[in-house]
Amino acid sequence: MNSTRRSSRRFRLSSFPGGRRGLSPAWALLLVFTAPAALQAAEATPPSLAVSLAKADDHAGAALEFRRQALDSQDSASKAAFYWSAAREYHEAGQYEVADKMVDAAENEDPDLLAPTLLLRGENSAAIRDWPSSAFFFRNLLSTPGDTNRTRYAARSLAVAELRRRQPDAARQALLGTGSDESTPLSALDRYSQGRDKRPWLGGLLGMIPGLGYAYAGEFANAGRSLILNSLFIFGMVNTADNENWGAFAAISFFELTWYSGSIYGGIDAAHRYNQDRLETCAQGIMNHASFEPNYATLPALSIQFRF
């Protein structure tokens, strides 16, 4: 019985490098240098399920997984990074109110996470068309020290917010203050400033002549259809009146009244569409395909990549 215990003890001791004497100096040195790296690699392993869901465009599912990662994290910086990632995915899912709450959680965990939180707050405000708030957040982001790409993105986003507030001069100042070559966005802003919006009231007034209101806004196909249809109905009214077919005359007159009033209101709407399209074209020209993406491979360290 005693010999069995001694044999078992010898096996357990010999299972480790160095046997009874403990770890050899070479093994000890190896553990000293490799253990921190192994621990860091384990901590840097991204949440594969959340990333997979994000890549599959299941942004709401990815956000839930990132929130779970935040709850499982032990330190505040990691929690903040995962909450921010959840906020980003909620934004992509169109759940902007929840996204703002996740930004609040990230900021509470790590107040130093200023620039990324300003970035998402500005994006959320823009998504709900709260342009004054969007301009406020991007202006603060622009004044936060950072790399050139982040500054350029903040300037362009601020310029778009100012443009939508009908402040083209402020938009120009935002672009000029980056110190980078922003010739393409500035050219888009120049084209917008040199153009003129259409006047909706004038479009409605011109619409009293069928098709002319549409033509004023550049919608020539709609102008042609309006002119042809109104002409046909007017011809029908005249023809049925000449033949004293009053029932058909009443029916055609009703439809003509509808189309004629549609020509007037259509001229007003066409002017609004023209102005909105002009604004959207300028906004797209200012951004010029600029975007940003979080690099989830670095989590729990937060990394954002800007593209132009």
Question: What are the structure tokens assigned to 176, written together?
Answer: 């000029």
With contact defined as beta carbons under 8 Å apart, do 68 and 94 qualify? no
List all residues 6 or more positions away from 304 whose beta carbon is below 8 Å from its beta carbon.
Answer: 116, 119, 150, 292, 293, 294, 295
Tell whether the model's pLDDT for residue 45 goes beyond 90.
no
pLDDT at 260: 82
Q: 234: buried, middle or exposed (CB in 10 Å: 19+, 13-18, 0-12)?
A: middle
23 three-class SS: coil
* Placement of tokens 């259809």 in the chain: 225
CA distance 67 to 56: 18
CA distance 21 to 28: 12
Cα–Cα distances in angstroms (integers) from residue 273 to residues 21, 100, 196, 297, in the given order: 84, 31, 13, 43
The structural domains of the chain, with segments of one domain joined by +, span 48-196, 200-286
List all residues 6 or more positions away from 68 whose beta carbon is below 8 Å from its beta carbon.
Answer: none
With contact defined as beta carbons under 8 Å apart, do 13 and 6 qualify? no
185-232 pLDDT tens trace: 999 999 999 999 999 999 999 999 999 999 999 999 999 988 888 888
- DSSP H helix total and E strand total for the chain: 15, 2
With contact defined as beta carbons under 8 Å apart, do 62 and 51 qualify? yes
Tell whether the model's pLDDT for residue 65 goes beyond 80.
yes
Per the prediction, the chain carries an average pLDDT of 85
Tell whether the model's pLDDT for residue 78 goes beyond 60.
yes
Topology, domain 48-196 = 1.25.40
Among 260, 263, 213, 207, residue whose Cα is nearest residue 237: 260
With contact defined as beta carbons under 8 Å apart, do 115 and 141 qualify? yes
Tell whether the model's pLDDT for residue 48 goes beyond 90.
no
CA distance 183 to 305: 22
In single-letter form, the type of residue at position 129 comes to: R
CA 177 centroid distance within chain: 23
CA distance 8 to 3: 9
pLDDT at 262: 83
CA 1 centroid distance within chain: 73
Among 109, 111, 137, 112, residue whose Cα is nearest residue 123: 137
CA 129 centroid distance within chain: 12
pLDDT at 242: 77
240-297 pLDDT tens trace: 877 778 887 788 788 778 878 888 999 999 999 999 999 999 999 999 999 999 999 9
Q: What is the 3-state secondary structure (H, E, C) of 197-208?
A: CCCHHHHHHHCC
CA distance 229 to 225: 6
In single-letter form, the type of residue at position 35 comes to: A
